[in-house]
Structure formats: C-alpha cells, structure tokens
C-alpha cells in the first residue's frame, strides 16, 4: 500500500484577508479620496495669482540705480569674516550706487547672537544704511525678507543662507547677492542691468 496523502482539505485551510484588500474600511476611504483627487485634477483653475507689473518677461524693470539691497544677518557676518567693506564692495559689484537696507528683524537677530557678532552689529548700526521698521509679530528675519520682496519688487537680497536663497528663487525677478571667495557674487541679475 502507498503512503496516504497529507494535503489538507479545502475548507480546513484558514483564509486571511490581506492588508490592502478593498473590502476593509480603511481601504474603502482611500479609494474615495483617490477618486476625489482625480476629479480635482480635471477642474479648471480660475484663481491665477497677480503678477507684478514691474516684471517684463524675466526682467524686473523696477530695479534701477540706486539699488536698494536688503541685507541679511549671515551676509553681514560673512562680510566681516572676509574683511570686505560693505558699501564699496557692493558698488564695485553692481557698478552703481547702492542703498544697503536693514530691517528691524535683522537688527534684532544680530543683537540676539551676542558678542561673537558685535562687529557685524556695529556695521549694521551705521548711520549710512537705510532702516526699515517691521510691523509683524516675531523677529524671524527670513520670513520678513521673503514677505517684503513678494510685496515690493524693488529690492536685491544680500544673503548667504541656503534656505533663504531657495525661497527667494521661487519669487520671480529678485536677484540675490552672496559672499563667495572673498568677493560678492550676483545671481539672477538680468544682463540688461549688468552691462
């Protein structure tokens, strides 16, 4: 006689529902959400953000000498590290008159940083620079600068902060100046202005 078969009968095997089965409640709600997203993708977008009248194609016609330059905290500290005179180097870089502009948020940030940044704070307190009062709550300078350049396209932003540069690049028509290799470098300034 041969050996008896040891396979289990069909009904004796316990059946399990998989985690991704559509019959589960959590997966049913996912299916509905996916359907709604697909419907939203086909809708026509009627709300288009207003573009500044200063922008002409990629050129910002509001940028004219004397340039108003919003200075950030780390730009000042890098300027001190490289021992560069702020106004003279800006004028040599842009070939025009410049008005470095410092917001009250940048001043507060420099004061918070303490004695290590005292030289940068002394440069920022210079009477030659223009001051801007901030009317918002808090003293986070990056949000302040981004908000200001979105409202007014008349500024060039001077910063070395990588995250702030990334945020500014999303705003069309705003050039960025940074400190690199012992000099100032201009990014995204149109060729019509560079000359």
pLDDT truncated to tens, each residue of the chain (195 aa)? 667 666 666 656 566 777 877 777 777 777 777 777 666 666 666 666 677 777 776 678 888 899 999 999 999 999 999 999 999 999 999 999 999 999 999 999 999 999 999 999 999 999 999 999 998 887 789 999 999 999 988 999 999 999 999 999 998 889 999 999 999 999 976 554 444
Pairing of strands 98-103, 67-71: parallel
What is the enclosing helix (H) or strand (E) of 184? Answer: strand 183-187
Helices (H), the chain: 25-42, 73-81, 86-94, 104-113, 118-124, 141-151, 162-169, 191-194
Any idea where the domains of the chain sit in the sequence? 65-190
Q: Which CATH number among 1.10.490.10, 3.40.50.1010, 3.40.50.150, 1.10.260.40 corresponds to the domain 65-190?
A: 3.40.50.1010
157 forms bridges with which residues in the sheet?
Answer: 70, 176
């Amino acid at each position: 006689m041969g050996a008896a078969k040891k396979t289990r009968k069909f009904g004796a095997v316990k059946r399990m529902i998989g985690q991704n089965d559509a019959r589960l409640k959590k997966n049913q709600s996912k299916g509905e959400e996916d359907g709604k997203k697909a419907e939203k993708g086909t809708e026509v977008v009627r709300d288009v953000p207003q573009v500044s009248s200063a922008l002409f194609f990629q050129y910002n016609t509001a940028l004219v000498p004397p340039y108003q330059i919003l200075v950030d905290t780390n730009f000042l500290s890098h300027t001190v590290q490289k021992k560069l005179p702020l106004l003279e180097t800006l004028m040599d870089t842009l070939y025009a008159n410049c008005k470095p502009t410092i917001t009250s948020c940048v001043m507060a940030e420099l004061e918070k940083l303490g004695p290590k940044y005292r030289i940068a704070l002394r440069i920022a307190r210079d009477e030659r620079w223009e001051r801007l009062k901030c009317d918002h709550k808090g003293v986070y300078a990056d949000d302040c600068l981004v908000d200001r350049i979105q409202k007014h396209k008349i500024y060039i932003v001077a910063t070395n902060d990588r995250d702030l540069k990334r945020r500014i690049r999303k705003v069309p028509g705003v050039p960025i100046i940074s400190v690199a290799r012992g000099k100032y470098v201009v990014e995204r300034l149109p060729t019509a202005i560079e000359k």
